[in-house]
Structure 1
Amino acid sequence: MSESGPVPGTLDAMRWLWTPAWIARHVAMVVLVVGFLGLGWWQISRAAAGNTLSWGYAVEWPIFAGFVVYVWWREVRLARRNAAAATGQPADPTEQPADASPATGESRPAVRRPVRVARVPAASEAVEDTDLAAYNHYLSWLNANPGARPGDYPG
């Protein structure tokens, strides 16, 4: 590894792919792909023996294997992008962020979800709700008398 950090495109830059968590992901991907392709081959042999339903499964298992490879590939790309963002280096010098303007290189402001604001009508006079005031008085009495039963309330 060089003193200035990992050089993009070298094995030093991909060291994070050999942590125990990533090795487990790689092994799981290989086991699933080999297993799914083996099940697809098994269904082809059953279909050739006369089981017509197995033709559908013979197509389905390789699709599952392809999906596993696709998810693994996306996880590697996402981790690579996150690692590059943490170090401040671009993940791939040929890739430009989607929110950057090609001419100026400036980024556009991000579009965020709208925030819901509760609108409370401005009351010119405070209207007292007698039932609410009585209930609040009851609650404050219960709080002041922790051992009391609700039937002991004098109000």
Structure 2
Amino acid sequence: MPPNPATYDTASESPANPGTLDGMERLWTPAWIARHVAMVVLVVGFLGLGWWQVTRAAEGNALSFGYAIEWPVFAGFVVFVWWREVRHTLRRRRAEDPSPAPSAAAGPEPAAATPAVRRPVRVNRVPAASASGAEDGELVDYNRYLSWLNANPGARPGDYPG
């Protein structure tokens, strides 16, 4: 009998061997071991700081009551981010598993999917032409003045011949 999908998470199982933890080897790379160690060190450190604040609050420092609550919240956030990254890695592994080969009658292979996050594209902006087609006389004079100042960097505005 298959498991109830509403209450059973299969992110760490492989399609070939349901009920196994075949995808877990991805979490034992050197980078992941460093993440596991960092998570444990941060959680223990944050909980230790929380206990220290509790002892300070018991000695009469009222401000420490707030910090005694804050440090365990930080530890919980570290565990949440670590768990989310573990689940994301295991689900990505399942999505990357090769699917059955398409039949020859199915037609040509589909185009590669575009990446979810793309690099930003820089575009040089060009000033738009006026809608009426006629240039404002003061704007033309001002632009001529600015281009003269740009061409003569050592000049003062009073030296402008126009």
Higher relative contact order (CA 8 A, sep 6+): 2
* Contact 1:47–1:55, Cα closer than 8 Å, also in 2: yes
TM alignment of 1:1-155, pairs within 5 A: 7-88=17-98
Code of the aligned partner of 1:27: V
Instruction: Tell me how far 1:88 sits from its aligned partner.
Output: 4.3
Q: CA RMSD, aligned part only? A: 3.3
Closer, same or farther: CA 82–37 of 1 in aligned 2, 3 Å: same
Look up the SS of the partner of 1:42 in the other structure. helix
Q: In structure 1, what is the Cα distance between the partners aligned to 2:31 and 2:51?
A: 30
Q: Deviations over 1:108-155 (max 9, x none)?
A: xxxxxxxxxxxx9xxxxxxxxxxxxxxxxxxxxxxxxxxxxxxxxxxx
Q: Which runs of 5+ in 2 are unaligned?
A: 1-13, 100-127, 129-162
Corresponding residue for residue 108 of structure 1: none
Instruction: Tell me how far 1:10 sits from its aligned partner.
Output: 2.2
Closer, same or farther: CA 31–6 of 1 in aligned 2, 3 Å: farther
Q: Deviations over 1:40-96 (max 9, x none)?
A: 00000000000000000000000000000000011011111111111147xxxxxxx
Code of the aligned partner of 1:7: N
Code of the aligned partner of 1:14: M
Percent identity of paired positions between Structure 1 and Structure 2: 71
Closer, same or farther: CA 9–16 of 1 in aligned 2, 3 Å: farther
Q: In structure 2, what is the Cα distance between the partners aligned to 1:80 and 1:24?
A: 17
Q: TM-score, normalised by structure 1?
A: 0.52
**Corresponding pairs, count:** 97
